[in-house]
Amino acid sequence: MKNYSKKVAGILVAVLFPFMIASCMGINASAKIDAKGAGTISLEYQISKEFSQLGSLESTPALPLPLSREDIEKSLSGMSGIALKSYAKSEKGENTIISFVLSFDSPDHLANYLDPRGKLAQYRQDNGTSRLTILFGNEIPTIDPQMKTSIAEELAPYRFRFSLECANAAPQIVVTNGDFLKVSTSGKKSSIESPMADLITANQPPQVDISWK
């Protein structure tokens, strides 16, 4: 697990949370942006109890999983233009399910939440077109075939999904270095989805460019 924990962390930093994490998990994020650029993002992650506990024991310091409302509120401390609207935690079989909703004042505030460093998530406007670029990590660890098989088995139940709905029309999504990321559109919403194992074992960091007017 330690051989790919850095890559898991990179994905989360790029897409969902500014937390270091090293556990088996599924991620479902859905954002909605209105005509003025404000909106909400609903996040749900499904964490294997076994691996989150193992991560906490093996990590120094202990693995900072955002398992409570207080954890999430602390992560937002010092950030402007974004706030916690709701939070829920439940248990389902061998997994812990964390769900929460954030409101944001602009896509720029959303990008800042996704990656406060501004390296893995960036927002800009070009001639009336809004563009959000997400890079899934900047370093790819070497994974041998046996480890790749092990990762695929461990992460088999878990998937990654991110969707964005805009006020006028569905945004355009262009994926680079990520043929395994499935792009779909429904109404004014566009989505990307893949098995979590494919993200973890990708040979190059996928990049997702999302644009809308």
Q: Is pLDDT at 54 greater than 50 in this prediction?
A: no
Structure tokens at 60: 């120094």
CB atoms within 10 A of CB 182: 13
Query: How confident is the model over 23-50, as pLDDT tens digits?
Result: 467 889 999 999 999 999 999 988 877 6
Name 197's Cβ contacts closer than 8 Å, sequence gap at least 6: 151, 152, 154, 155, 156, 158
Measured at the alpha carbon of residue 183, what is the angle toward residues 177 and 185, in degrees to the nearest 5?
155
* Least confident among 40-44, 89-93, 206-210: 89-93
* CA-wise closest residue to 189 among 160, 168, 159: 168
Q: Which pLDDT score, from 0 to 100, does residue 36 have?
A: 94
Q: Which pLDDT score, from 0 to 100, does residue 141 have?
A: 67
pLDDT top residue among 1 and 139: 139
Q: Which pLDDT score, from 0 to 100, does residue 4 have?
A: 47
Q: Is pLDDT at 199 greater than 80 in this prediction?
A: yes
Distance CA 68, CA 90 (A): 11
Distance CA 37, CA 123 (A): 12
